[in-house]
């Protein structure tokens, strides 16, 4: 899609800019990958979560080629993980606002049922890792959020795929005032999703470089 020279310029611009973004982060919240409801999700916390997934993938796949394939299929893992971390907080806030709670017993019951379907604890852990990128140590936490989502949908008289459910999450998202570090994109409160940030400085640098090279 791009000529080789233009592609090289774009990559050069990204490499030059990346250290600046990493060092500065969000100007208002240095060192934060995101701020949700005034609480920081630090870059270190995000990197730790990503490491958990990579470690679990390595443990689950002993063949080097298969591991590299798994890594390639989750190339946007950092952004996807941050999206999940923010969405978890938004969902939890929406559930709290609706007066919803989830007990440890409910989580254990749900896990037992899923383990039976998956052929045991290991089968469930592998399935959740492969399908949702959830490492074993985060499984109960994820199931708690699944239950919160189900209960919230039931309280609203809908299901998790319907507009009423997502409208509730959008309301909580706006109330929390989600603010992402630009290196990870932007947060669209209406869509309740991370979106890629527009980076005009990349186009400006690439255009200037192309003119100089012409």
**Cα–Cα dist 97/33, whole Å:** 25
Q: Mind listing the pLDDT tens digit for each residue in 169-182?
A: 999 999 999 999 99
Q: pTM of the prediction?
A: 0.74
pLDDT class of 116 with cuts at 50, 70, 90: very high
Which pLDDT score, from 0 to 100, does residue 77 have?
87
How confident is the model at residue 149, as a pLDDT?
A: 97
In this predicted structure, the answer to whether residue 15 has a pLDDT above a threshold of 80 is no
Question: Lowest-pLDDT range, 26-35, 78-87, 108-117?
Answer: 26-35
The answer to whether residue 97 scores a pLDDT higher than 80 is yes
Transcribe 93-132 into DSSP letters: HHHHHTT----HHHHHHHHHHHHHHHTSHHHHHHHHHHHH
Is the pLDDT assigned to residue 72 strictly greater than 70? no
Q: Which of 17-26, 93-102, 115-124 shows the lowest mean pLDDT across its residues?
A: 17-26
Predicted confidence (pLDDT) per residue in 167-214, tens digit: 999 999 999 999 999 999 999 999 999 998 765 544 433 334 444 444
pLDDT at position 178 is 95
- What does the DSSP 8-state code read for residue 26? B
Report the Cα 70 to chain-centroid distance in Å. Answer: 17
Look up residue 210 and give its two tokens: 């192309």
- What 8-state DSSP symbol labels residue 13? H
CA distances (Å), origin 131, targets 68, 125, 160:
17, 10, 18
Those residues whose C-beta lies under 8 Å from the C-beta of residue 182, and which sit 6 or more positions away, are 21, 26, 197
């Amino acid at each position: 899609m791009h000529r080789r020279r233009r592609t090289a310029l774009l990559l050069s611009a990204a490499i030059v800019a990346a250290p600046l973004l990493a060092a500065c982060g969000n100007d208002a919240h240095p060192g934060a990958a995101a701020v949700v409801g005034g609480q920081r999700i630090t870059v270190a916390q995000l990197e730790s979560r990503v490491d958990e997934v990579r470690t679990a993938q390595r443990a689950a796949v002993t063949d080097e080629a298969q591991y590299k394939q798994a890594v390639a299929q989750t190339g946007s893992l950092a952004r996807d993980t941050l999206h999940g971390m923010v969405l978890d907080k938004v969902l939890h806030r929406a559930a709290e606002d609706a007066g919803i709670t989830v007990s440890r017993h409910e989580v254990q019951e749900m896990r037992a049922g899923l383990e039976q379907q998956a052929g045991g604890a290991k089968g469930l852990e592998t399935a959740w890792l492969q399908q949702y990128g959830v490492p074993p140590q985060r499984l109960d936490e994820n199931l708690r959020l699944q239950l919160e989502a189900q209960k919230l949908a039931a309280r609203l008289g809908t299901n998790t795929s319907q507009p009423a459910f997502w409208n509730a999450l959008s309301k909580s998202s706006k109330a929390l005032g989600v603010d992402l570090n630009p290196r990870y994109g932007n947060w669209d409160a209406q869509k309740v999703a991370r979106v890629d940030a527009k980076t005009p400085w990349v186009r400006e640098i690439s255009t200037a470089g192309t003119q100089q090279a012409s």
